[in-house]
């Protein structure tokens, strides 16, 4: 894959509230299949920090910022967002990345 300025790559950091780790994990996993089926999605993978259980990272790539915005308007994303305050200790942190190598 060659580097492209149009592709939007990000890491979403999501920290579960105390006692809500499994709930957050379950709800985040529900996002995987429908997001990967979105036309503009290139990559969507969930990780959990090995040294900090309950801290999740979602690696995301979309063909454009418009595709990311479309993702954020989907029913599955909005369903998760509606639960985010109850599941997460802080608002999700989205870090955008620039690809510098293949």
Instruction: List, as one string, the DSSP characters of 27-90.
Output: HHHHHHHHHHTSTTEEEEEEEE-TTSTTEEEEEEEESSHHHHHHHTTSHHHHHHHHHHHHHBSS
pTM of the model: 0.91
Distance CA 96, CA 20 (A): 26
- Segment 49-55 shows an average pLDDT of 97
pLDDT score, position 1: 42
Domain annotation for the chain: domains and CATH numbers: 8-97 (3.30.70.100)
pLDDT at 20: 98
């Amino acid at each position: 894959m060659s580097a492209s300025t149009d592709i939007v790559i990000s890491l979403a950091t999501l920290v579960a509230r105390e006692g809500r780790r499994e709930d957050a994990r379950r709800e985040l996993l529900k996002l995987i299949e429908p997001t990967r089926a979105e036309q503009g999605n290139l990559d969507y993978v969930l990780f959990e920090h090995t040294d900090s259980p309950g801290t999740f990272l979602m690696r995301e790539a979309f063909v454009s910022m418009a595709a990311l915005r479309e993702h954020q308007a989907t029913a599955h994303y909005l369903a998760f967002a509606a639960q985010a305050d109850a599941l997460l200790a802080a608002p999700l942190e989205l870090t955008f990345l620039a690809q510098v190598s293949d």
